[in-house]
Structure 1
Amino acid sequence: MVTQSKTVWWALALPLLAVLIWSMNIAVTRYVVDYISPVSISFYRWLVAFLVLTPFMATRVWRERVLIQQYWKKLAVLAAFGMVLYQGLGYTAAHYTSATNMGIINAFIPIFTIFVSMFLLKEIPNRFAIVGSILSFLGLLYVMAQGNLAGLIQSGGHLGDVMMVIAVFFYAFYGVFLKKWQLNIPLMISLYIQIIFALLYHLPFVLWLGLEAINPQNISSVLYAGIFPSLIAPLVWMLAVQMIGPNRTSIFMNLMPVFTAIIAYIWLNEAWTVYHSIGGAIILLGILLAQKKPQTHIKASS
């Protein structure tokens, strides 16, 4: 009994670690804007991940080439949404908004996933999901408006926040496509092939915009992005899903705004304001409400 209890607590630490790594990456993304372009760090990130995985995956991928041929088109779509559109827009958004705001907007992934599922999977959201989504959206608008909704309407929104909202929307598509297709392919092979496609997608942008050199000011950020959020966090997250289930694991994503705000406050000297507290609380309340399942009443047979 004691051993089982220890195992559960150890398993709960896995999603906590993954969310902490992803939260740190948001702060890294904001920190490195002065030292490297969005296209460069995005390309280098997946290049580092590719170089780290290749010695372990090359032979295995060759053995499974027939299986990969069955799914390569879908893996290409997943890479476009999850690794290029989401990450690329995130790196660009960091030039125009704070890490704190990026962390708060990232918490919207479950909400957007509900509505993307409605269109792609024909899953009709329940009343809790609808009310929770509206509530979270109002909280997001409050944060983007910095507590002044009239000012947000007049200014048309803040570019970085809007770009981050679009990025999160693309990531919701990534998650729904994964659920819709249920690819019967090993996770590591799936990740590796998606990384290859991500590098290929970056080539036109690299040729057009150029590639900035790695230097002492940006190398640590590039290495962190290429190893920890790209490889370690997904593996830890997948292990957590296997050990404690997808529903319990997904709840930990709600901690990302909190972790990001703490890291940004300590490292980047970003202020946590009243409108962050109010808007963040509204968003979190909406997310928790959206995940609530309606009770099913079973009539007793007479």
Structure 2
Amino acid sequence: MESLPVSKSAYLFPLATVIAWAGNGIVSKMSVDVVSPGTIAFYRWLLAALVLLPFVAKTLWRQRQAIRKQFFKLSVLGALGMVVLQTLTYVSAQTTSATNIALIGSVVPMMTMAWGVMLNRERPTQGMIAGSLISFLGLSVLLTQGQPLALLHQPLNQGDILLLLGAICYGLYGVLLRRWKLPFSTWPSLFLQMTMGALWLLPVYLTQADRSVSAEAWPMVLFAALVASLFATYSWLRGIQALGANRCTAFMNLNPLIGTGLAIWLLEESLAPSHCLGGGLTLLGVFLTQRLKSPVRLRRRRLPVTEG
């Protein structure tokens, strides 16, 4: 059966999503010394949830019993998906570059597959094995500015470590989201997770030394809430409807490339050889992880048969 023709304009949806995600890394770097990490993270999810509330209020009221039953899972997903990665990105931006934010963030799909193997007992693929080794080599080059042997005696940049931790947690979020299969459609589920994220961040926000949001900071907060959170999700879902999940997922590989380009263009960051080599190896590893899907087959050794 032949597939239906797809309008070329449909490809703008996943492309716009990836640009929004990459732009969020730029905003994270620009927010340094302008607004505290806890403040921008809190207002991001609070504002996004408030904008979404009128569209999901009736559905949420009908499903209030299910919300109570799923409260713990929603809390965990809100913490992993909305709080950890995003807040750590804002914190890491104080000590690392927007280029590193884009490149290190590219390992999230690989982390998701690794969690799937550990939690769901999914069989590792050839791509996961080869891709993980290549990506690890790439990250070691990237994180040590081209001197991977420095890992043996030199501490890593704190911001880069936080980005890796965030990627690991977001990979776990993706696996749990699929595994738990919450009884909510996309937008109500997103609203509930955003609300949980804001609640988790409330104590952090209240303990910030400076909770103010200046006129310079508000455009960054609004971009994070409206563009990187709501618009990106809407555009991604429209892309999946028009193109299918597989075609849209391929666009995620453009995220680090666009993020790096924006960092060079808007923030005038320089592209070092370690970025090219380390980032290239990391992206190659992620690409192999996604493309080589044949499961690894372990050969069992046959014990010799003894005659009795």
C-alpha separation between the residues in 2 aligned to 1:247 and 1:96? Answer: 35
- Residue 252 of structure 2 corresponds to residue 221 of structure 1: no
Residue deviations 1:242-276 (CA, integer Å, cap 9, x gap): 33232222221111111011111111111112111
CA contact 2:35–2:214 (8 Å) conserved in 1: no
Following superposition, the deviation at residue 206 of structure 1 comes to: 2.0
Residue deviations 1:152-179 (CA, integer Å, cap 9, x gap): 4332111111110000110001100111
Which amino acid in the other structure matches residue 280 of structure 2? A
Residue of structure 1 in register with 2:256 after alignment? 257
**Unaligned 5+ residue runs, structure 2?**
297-308
C-alpha separation between the residues in 2 aligned to 1:24 and 1:110? Answer: 19
CA contact 1:39–1:211 (8 Å) conserved in 2: no
Residue deviations 1:16-36 (CA, integer Å, cap 9, x gap): 111110000000000111101
TM-score between both structures, scaled by the size of structure 1:
0.92
Instruction: Write the mapping of 1:117-156 to structure 2, written as runs, cut at 5 A.
Output: 117-156=116-155
Residue of structure 2 in register with 1:13 after alignment? 12
Following superposition, the deviation at residue 55 of structure 1 comes to: 2.5
C-alpha separation between the residues in 2 aligned to 1:214 and 1:180? Answer: 38
Instruction: Write the mapping of 1:95-174 to structure 2, written as runs, cut at 5 A.
Output: 95-174=94-173
Following superposition, the deviation at residue 295 of structure 1 comes to: 8.7
C-alpha separation between the residues in 2 aligned to 1:185 and 1:55? Answer: 16
Residue of structure 1 in register with 2:265 after alignment? 266
Residue deviations 1:63-111 (CA, integer Å, cap 9, x gap): 2223323323222111110001111111111111001001001110111
Which amino acid in the other structure matches residue 183 of structure 1? L
C-alpha separation between the residues in 2 aligned to 1:143 and 1:262? Answer: 17
CA contact 2:126–2:293 (8 Å) conserved in 1: no
**Unaligned 5+ residue runs, structure 1?**
297-302
Higher helix share: 1
Instruction: Write the mapping of 1:174-213 to structure 2, written as runs, cut at 5 A.
Output: 174-210=173-209, 212-213=211-212
- Residue 50 of structure 2 corresponds to residue 51 of structure 1: yes
Following superposition, the deviation at residue 210 of structure 1 comes to: 4.5
Residue of structure 2 in register with 1:248 after alignment? 247
TM-score between both structures, scaled by the size of structure 2:
0.90
Residue of structure 2 in register with 1:81 after alignment? 80
C-alpha separation between the residues in 1 aligned to 2:289 and 2:264? Answer: 29
The total of aligned residue pairs comes to 293
Following superposition, the deviation at residue 130 of structure 1 comes to: 0.6
Following superposition, the deviation at residue 278 of structure 1 comes to: 1.1
SS of equivalent residue, structure 1 residue 132: helix
RMSD over aligned CA atoms reads: 1.9
CA contact 1:240–1:249 (8 Å) conserved in 2: yes
Deviates more, 1:284-293 or 1:237-246: 237-246
Deviates more, 1:45-54 or 1:201-210: 201-210
Residue of structure 1 in register with 2:294 after alignment? 294
SS of equivalent residue, structure 2 residue 32: helix
Residue of structure 1 in register with 2:26 after alignment? 27
Deviates more, 1:137-146 or 1:60-69: 60-69
Which amino acid in the other structure matches residue 293 of structure 1? K
